[in-house]
Amino acid sequence: MLQTFRHYIDGGFSDASQTFDSINPATGEVWASMPAASAADVDRAVRAADRALFSPEWANLTASQRGKLLYRLADLVAANAQELAELETADTGKIIRETRSQIGYVAEYYRYYAGVADKIQGAYLPVDKPDMEVFLRREPVGVVAGIVPWNSQLFLSAVKIGPALAAGCTIVIKASEEGPAPLLAFARLIHEAGFPAGVVNILTGFGADCGHALTTHPLVAKIAFTGGPETARHIVRNSAENLAATSLELGGKSPVLVFDDADVDSVSNAIIAGIFAATGQSCVAGSRLLVQRGIRERLLAKLVEKARAIKIGDPQNVDTEMGPLATARQRDHIEAVLAASLAAGAKLLTGGHRPEGMGNGFFFEPTIVECATSDIPSVAQELFGPVLSVMSFDTEEQAIALANGTRYGLASGVFTRDLTRAHRLTRRLRAGIVWVNTYRAVSPIVPFGGYQLSGLGREGGFDAVLDYTRTKSVWIRTSDDPIADPFVMR
């Protein structure tokens, strides 16, 4: 029996006029039926969010009351983490122990923004006019369109829903058509938490109908998007229709710089986790390894050994260490880029093939290639898969040049025992995140975002809430004297 999912619009669950099949990446078989939102569905969701924005049930809540709703949602996420994790694993192929751990931590993001809700403050302005009191109010920006990809979707929606609701906005979330099950199921928790109808709406569908209608809708005031640069360009063009503010968290080609003084065992574990966790399908995947020549041979030997030992298999099995890619299309793309890289002179150290005995699933081996130049396709392009491209350097200046020699700038890693070098590099690396002697650490307290093609704006942390507000200047005249006649010169 196929599982069936529905949209959540205006406080209720509803079917769409059209549906599409969702494929289990581990088996290649259809496992669920998903609703495909039409432009009419999107319009209904946005109008529901606009009504809710000004409804007494939402607009009249105090900031503390909004926070209590978010606390309740956080508890529900934590209590239902196992069920949501199983759905995400079935729909995306991410291994169960990762989805379970990540979704459990998502609850902390909602708790953080619950606590922030009543910390959003305006300001008193000491203006240069003695008979005026002026202050700034921070008010919700309005209806938010949140668009998230299939990977880490509950986390990537939390960093939009959390600050939006804390600020008093309402939101329409579009889940990716590639694996929307956990986010559509999450709508039940929104309902149980007691948010008024229309405050949160969750749907899915395709770009031409659903995505275009959402990002051009005249009632949308802000678009918060996570995905690839090409789709982001479409969204920016669409936003010209409604002049919505945009925040874009995009892809990456993140460098990991390893110096001769680094601990080989420690750094190898970090690199393996940074590129092969989530089968490499992470925007912050450490896909470019830049290693100083003195440590190169020892580190590569250790990495090849560890990569070959990774257990590939059923992502629902707790012993599995790496699952399939999310789609056959992504696997085919990786194979094509890898073939072009080898033809351009890259050297295959391990992997590079579909593993045997995996049936029709979209599996691909953990792969390491050594590359002489930055123009090798696997070095230059974001593959969004389990492929590590390795380059060598001699000096710190060479390492910085290689690291910054990309159109992206989301994350980076530095491994060294030299504290002064670490500080120099954190200043010079063009990336929104610099991890030193660690990788892939996250916290709701810390913002993240990128440079260049890795996006605009930041998500996470306190300042993210302010991006969901706009300021209103309030002038109050304190003098009882009549206002002077403007046409009488003095």
CB burial readout 324-347, b (16+ within 10 A) else e? bbbbeebbebbeebbeebbeeebe
Nearest to 39 by CA among 192, 205, 283: 205
**Is 281 in a helix, a strand, or coil?**
coil
Residue in this structure with the two tokens 């590590």, named with its chain if needed? 388
Can you list the alpha helix ranges (DSSP code H) found in 132-276?
A: 153-166, 181-193, 212-216, 229-238, 264-276
SS3 content of the chain, % helix, strand, coil (to 5): 40, 25, 35
Please tell me the distance from the alpha carbon of residue 413 to that of residue 403, in angstroms, as a whole number: 10
Which are the contacts of 246, defined by CB distance < 8 A and separation ≥ 6? 222, 223, 224, 225, 235, 236, 239, 456, 457
Please tell me the distance from the alpha carbon of residue 225 to that of residue 157, in angstroms, as a whole number: 10
Please tell me the distance from the alpha carbon of residue 290 to that of residue 398, in angstroms, as a whole number: 10
Q: Are 120 and 80 in contact (CB under 8 A)?
A: no
Question: What is the DSSP secondary-structure string of 87-113?
Answer: HHHHHH---HHHHHHHHHHHHHHHHHH
Can you list the alpha helix ranges (DSSP code H) found in 130-209?
A: 153-166, 181-193
Residue in this structure with the two tokens 């209904």, named with its chain if needed? 44
Q: Following CA atoms 391, 393, 398, 403 in sequence, which dihedral angle do they give, to the nearest 10 degrees? A: 30
Beta bridge partners of 203: 174
Sign of the dihedral through C-alpha 441, 442, 446, 449? positive
Active site residues: 249
